[in-house]
Amino acid sequence: MKAGCAFALACVLPCAWTPGAFAADDGRWPVVNDTVASAWKQGIDGSGVKVAVLDTQAVEDYPALKDADITYRLGRFSGMDGNEVECKVGGRPLTATIKAGDDGYYSSHGTDMLSWIVGDGGNYTLDKAGMLGAAPKARILHITTMGTSATAATTLCDAKKLGDASSDNGADVRTAVDWGARIINRSQSGGLDDTDYAGYVDALRHGIIMVGARANDTTPGLDDLTGDPRSMETFPGVVMVNSVDESGTLASTSDVMDGNVAVLSYGANVLKPINYVAEGDNRVGNGGTSTAAAVLSSYLALAMQKWPDATGNQIIQSLIRNTKSGKGKPVIDPERKRGFGEVDLNALLTVDPTQYKDVNPILEYQMKAAAQYPDLKDWYTQDCKTNPDGVGTAADNVPCEAGLIGQEYERQQTAWKKVEQCRSDGGSDCMQYSATNTADGSTNNTATPNGQAKPEGDPSQSASSGMPVWLWGVIGAGVAVIAAGVIIALVVSRRRRTRVRIPVSGVAYGSVRSYPNGPVPSRPYPGGSQRSGGQAPPAPNRVPEQPPSQPQQPYPQQVPRRGFAPPQPYPPTDPAPGVPAPDNHGGNGNPGGHGRYSG
């Protein structure tokens, strides 16, 4: 583990972070704007908020990160048997970080993502703009999941055969949970296996906001926001991000052929390294969904500092309800290309999220939507005791451990009913019964969601039931013991089954792929109303090949803005009789095997 530099204390915020020192037209407009400037003037700069970033090796002495509070840690790697192994790249042990100039690298994908969260605008050279983040005072845990390369393509561990040494995705997420992360940013995509699910569910259980970047391609996938536990970016409850420019126009590399999109954020027409071996040569281009995810994570960090009593689930509720098109209600794009809409930072910082329930709204939508499709309805209700082989075919199997996701959703709903009952009975401190505050099996936690201690004088007895709080703790401990038994049983079950670990892999972020010709198949919306406007947007012109001196492609043309059919209500209503199942909900026939960089 390697710690980054401590915060600089000699200069107050306006001195170090005055937006006037930067120009919006140099590609830093997601940060250089009036909303961020106003937040910084109020001291809202991410202070105290813990953000975990799972990505490639970072350049630890990168100029824009010199004053950032970053702890660097190497992720866990395992073999096909699940045992931990050492990851070597090119015969050398993978390290958590590199230094500027090592093997010719001056930046990396992971460095870029960190900079969009906590960067201070520094650069190797004064004549080129440096990377800038909206939450410069956030605390960061950077978990290295793979090496770096000049083009942002994946650098996997050396292996004689596939799976000999792969990133242990579930373990890395659990590391972030144990560290106390409020947000997990993962600007990567790739497959998950059944042993990863418990780690992701643990993050959901603790109300951690997981931000994932949609793939930068147009491969057809699921038609609705149903989630898919076999991929890290589509795991249920993850805030799945597509990329737009400053006008809200979708980037041509945003995935509009898969309905698993939750929110739009900013990753097009932004500052980015021309490549990772050019010292400080940053230019405006297509940052992909990777940048969009990192920008969103920085905004969420500001919101968490602004609203310290809000849980992560309540922040997500505010995020999807108060998009630039939401107006206080979660309304999903009927074509499933824009999710619930474009992030509105001003709304995140002005609308109190504690008015919303402590239930992950993306998870809620996905559970209800999946239940209305015949080929998906059993995904999240599985029980490994009765159905150890999962559902689906051998080539397109959803492991039985996906049932843990449905169980977590039911737990969140049950907990919120108890909060509402407490309030109805005139009780006090009713949020002690919420899903986030009972994540560890007990109520009346001594800390707020942001980790700060609660004030003295909390009631020692539940006003709604008259039952002493210590007795609730005993009950909670019993629940925890039962849960531990279930986990042990699942572990034993896993050991009896063939392990399939799919490595994270990728292509250069911001790379351009043409849209497929022809219309998008019509997709029934859960609840009976047929989506309208099923045509794919016009295919953008192909970007010409770039000369060797510029391996990163310039900003591609944007998909033209399009009108949408009347928005559909959220969440989906009860299914109408006879709703046909989509033809192509079965996945891509290669579960988890479509790993690639997201941005």
The beta strands (E) that lie in 147-253 are given as: 166-167, 183-186, 188-189, 209-213, 239-244
Q: What would you report as the CA-atom Rg of the chain, rounded to the nearest whole angstrom?
A: 23
Distance CA 292, CA 555 (A): 14
Task: Clarify whether 109 is annotated catalytic.
Answer: yes
Query: What is the 3 state secondary structure string of 5-46?
Result: CCCCCCCCHHHHHCHHHCCHHHCCCCCCCHHHHHHHHCCCCC
DSSP three-state, residue 299: helix
Distance CA 535, CA 533 (A): 6
- Where b means 16+ CB within 10 Å and e means fewer, 347-359 reads bbbebebeebbbb
Beta bridge partners of 195: none
Task: Clarify whether 55 is annotated catalytic.
Answer: yes
Q: How far is CA 177 from CA 115, 132, 170, 544, 561, in A?
A: 22, 26, 11, 44, 39
Q: How far is CA 330 from CA 205, 256, 324, 326, in A?
A: 22, 20, 11, 6
CB 2 within 8 A of CB 72: yes
What does the DSSP assignment read for 135-169?
-TT-EEEEEEEEB--TTS--BPPP-SSTTSSEE-H
Task: Clarify whether 142 is annotated catalytic.
Answer: no
DSSP three-state, residue 290: helix
**Which residue of the set 243, 290, 462, 598 is catalytic?**
290
**Which residue of the set 67, 78, 109, 142 is catalytic?**
109
- Count Cβ atoms below 10 Å from residue 164 Cβ, excluding itself: 18
Distance CA 228, CA 240 (A): 11
What does the DSSP assignment read for 487-540?
HHHHHHHHHTS----PPB----TT---PPPSSPPPP-BPTTSPBP---PPPPPP
**Which residue of the set 45, 55, 194, 228 is catalytic?**
55
Residues acting as catalytic residues: 55, 109, 290
